[in-house]
Amino acid sequence: MNLSVKEDLYDVKYHIRPPHGLLNDPNGLTYFKGVYHVFFQWNQKGTTHHNKSWGHVISKNLIDWVYLDPALEPKDWFDKDGCYSGSAIEYNGKLFLFYTGNVSTKSGERKSYQCLATSRDGMHFEKKGPILEHPKGYTSHVRDPKVWQDTNHIWWMILGAQTQDLKGTCILYRSDNLKNWTFVGPLMQSSPSLGYMWECPDMILLENKDIFIFSPQGLSPKGDFYQNIYQTGYFSGMFKKDGTFIKDKNDFTELDRGFEFYAPQSFVDPKGRRIVFGWMGTMKPELEQAVPTISNGWLHHLSLPRKIEWKNNHLYQHPISELHSLRKEKISIGDTLKRKKNLELSSPQNEILLCWNSNHAENFVFHISKEVAIQYSKDRKRFTVERTNWLTHKKETRNVILKNSLWHLQIFMESSSLEIFINKGEEVFSLRYFPQNFPLSIGFETNWNRQNSLDTIIYPL
Ligand code: FRU
């Protein structure tokens, strides 16, 4: 596989990016015959949203990825305009890929076919074509099959869909053999009114709670919420034996509070962990086409793998522990941040830990290059990330009111992206940024007399 992007200051070193061209959703996450497989939406021919194939990488440790040939390419009548998103499962020693074939007819009409491809070795895939009839009562926006098996050995397939009156929803099918599928109906008896289309649904069955994750399009901003072009979030509740989901009273909760995180997918790994990858990420078309990496022939990357956990009525996300292996050395910066307004970093890739040992954080502003400022206001427990928009050069912010006072921050930094984990996964902010000056630097503004229990550690990666 030719990793043919040109040398790029903004290249990512420990995230999955396309070999060249555009990447979007993670697809088909699975562990099969001793290796992790991650597939991703991939335009091999350019940096626009066309010609979607399934790119394919494998790894033994979720850290070092090997690029394989694309698993699916849009070459057949049922997927000629895109092998769209979907999922993978292992059954009887074979890998099954479920995906949506996107087709534009001569008259410009859209058709969606839910398709299957199988593989014995996890490298070569045989397309089996469409496996479902298009459901009645829904527009052609039906896509992104996610398949799982429940404890009664029933296979379920959830799909994002749009009703004839243009409302977002999800529908369900069931099967005993993965070949014949029966339409069950909408996932929720009365789907809450959330936009015009729900993409990339996922159902996570945990011990005492089920989590339904999806990515609705068409929500209007509301206070600190729904600030991005499209959203990703979840309802907690119960997935019942008849295939309906009864949601808790909790509102739709966004999974990530930053600027770029969309269309996540999860799987259970051999260690029993529920791991999620997302796409970093969806953005307004004019901003997307201004991303500087386009001149080097590539666009976007996936998030880090995150382990998810349900605790205190809330979904927590933790960077997986394997990421520790990226740490090259440990630098405790102690008093240096007090003395220096700007501390130059030896590497553009870092993991930065800020830990308030005996106390909670006082007010501060933490600068990462000139382009990003993280602010915390302790009275309201308000956490803000401000970045410079690379197209308009204006500042823009995302905010969250934390449940608990800030005591821990873990930041994964690349030269063009940040993933900020707050209070050990209570909230996460993911974003791209494009610094103008290298080497990158950090600075911490605060009243140091009060901030005295802070430990700061940098691990260059
Ligand atoms: C989400 C999405 C999916 C679709 C895919 C196409 O980002 O729009 O609904 O399958 O991307 O690339």
Domains in the chain, ordered, with CATH? 21-319 (2.115.10.20), 327-460 (2.60.120.560)
In angstroms, rounded to a whole number, what is the distance separating the alpha carbons of residues 145 and 160? 8
Does residue 25 line the site of ligand 1, with CB under 6 A?
A: yes
CB 409 within 8 A of CB 455: no
CB 278 within 8 A of CB 264: yes
Options 25, 79, 202, 210, the catalytic residue: 25
The model's confidence at residue 451, banded by pLDDT at 50, 70 and 90, is: confident
In angstroms, rounded to a whole number, what is the distance separating the alpha carbons of residues 71 and 42? 11
**Averaged over 24-28, what is the pLDDT?**
98
Ligand 1 centroid to Cα of residue 25, in Å, is: 7
* pLDDT at residue number 426: 97
The model's confidence at residue 452, banded by pLDDT at 50, 70 and 90, is: confident
Does residue 102 line the site of ligand 1, with CB under 6 A?
A: no
- Express each pLDDT in 268-324 by its tens digit: 999 999 999 999 999 999 999 999 999 999 999 999 999 999 999 999 999 999 999
Residue 49 Cα: closest atom of ligand 1: 12
Q: Residue 280's closest CA among 291, 270, 296?
A: 291
pLDDT at 72 over 80: yes
What SS3 class is residue 321? helix
In angstroms, rounded to a whole number, what is the distance separating the alpha carbons of residues 253 and 94? 36
Closest C-alpha to ligand 1, atom 9: 199
Structure tokens at 348: 């553009």
Instruction: Specify the residue for token string 């033994």.
Output: 60
Q: Would you put residue 324 in left (φ > 0), alpha (ψ -120 to 50) or beta?
A: alpha
Q: Does the annotation count 121 as an active-site position?
A: no
* pLDDT at residue number 2: 45
pLDDT at 3 over 70: no
In angstroms, rounded to a whole number, what is the distance separating the alpha carbons of residues 114 and 130? 5
**Averaged over 244-255, what is the pLDDT?**
94
Does residue 84 line the site of ligand 1, with CB under 6 A?
A: yes
Residue 160 Cα: closest atom of ligand 1: 9
CB 116 within 8 A of CB 126: no
In angstroms, rounded to a whole number, what is the distance separating the alpha carbons of residues 448 and 54? 51
Does residue 263 line the site of ligand 1, with CB under 6 A?
A: yes
**Averaged over 403-424, what is the pLDDT?**
97
Residue 200 Cα: closest atom of ligand 1: 9
Q: ipTM of this predicted complex?
A: 0.99
**Averaged over 146-168, what is the pLDDT?**
95
pLDDT at 449 over 90: no
For residue 60, how far is the Cα from the chain centroid?
21
Does residue 261 line the site of ligand 1, with CB under 6 A?
A: no
In Å, what is the CA distance from 105 to each residue of 83, 139, 144, 397, 438? 15, 15, 20, 41, 49
CB 337 within 8 A of CB 345: no
Does residue 144 line the site of ligand 1, with CB under 6 A?
A: yes
Burial 3-39 (b: 16+ CB within 10 A, else e): eebeebebbbebbbbbbbbbbbbbbbbbbbeeebbbb
Q: How many residues does the chain have?
A: 461
Residue 25 Cα: closest atom of ligand 1: 7
* pLDDT at residue number 255: 97
* pLDDT-above-70 percentage for the chain: 99
Pairing of β 314-319 and β 306-311: antiparallel
Residue 41 Cα: closest atom of ligand 1: 12
The model's confidence at residue 192, banded by pLDDT at 50, 70 and 90, is: confident
Ligand 1 centroid to Cα of residue 385, in Å, is: 27
pLDDT at 49 over 50: yes
CB 49 within 8 A of CB 43: yes
* pLDDT at residue number 207: 78
Does residue 87 line the site of ligand 1, with CB under 6 A?
A: no
* pLDDT-above-90 percentage for the chain: 90
pLDDT at 60 over 50: yes
Ligand 1 centroid to Cα of residue 363, in Å, is: 40
User: Mean pLDDT, the chain, as a whole number?
Assistant: 95
Ligand 1 pocket test, candidate residues 52, 85, 162, most atoms within 8 A of CB: 85
pLDDT at 102 over 70: yes
In angstroms, rounded to a whole number, what is the distance separating the alpha carbons of residues 210 and 203? 7
Ligand 1 centroid to Cα of residue 339, in Å, is: 48
Does residue 41 line the site of ligand 1, with CB under 6 A?
A: yes
Q: What's the burial of 378, exposed, middle or buried (CB within 10 Å: 0-12/13-18/19+)?
A: middle
Does residue 200 line the site of ligand 1, with CB under 6 A?
A: yes
* pLDDT at residue number 1: 42
What SS3 class is residue 360? coil
Provide the 8-state DSSP code for 73: -
In angstroms, rounded to a whole number, what is the distance separating the alpha carbons of residues 154 and 149? 5
Mention every residue, 6+ apart, whose C-beta is less than 8 A from residue 207. none
**Averaged over 443-451, what is the pLDDT?**
90
Q: Would you put residue 61 in left (φ > 0), alpha (ψ -120 to 50) or beta?
A: alpha
Ligand 1 centroid to Cα of residue 84, in Å, is: 6
The model's confidence at residue 335, banded by pLDDT at 50, 70 and 90, is: confident
- Express each pLDDT in 196-239 by its tens digit: 999 999 999 987 899 999 999 999 999 999 999 999 999 999 99
What SS3 class is residue 287? helix
> In 10 A of CB 79, how many CB atoms?
26
pLDDT at 5 over 80: no
Mention every residue, 6+ apart, whose C-beta is less than 8 A from residue 148. 89, 155, 156, 203, 205
In angstroms, rounded to a whole number, what is the distance separating the alpha carbons of residues 390 and 287? 8
Q: Residue 291's closest CA among 260, 257, 256?
A: 260
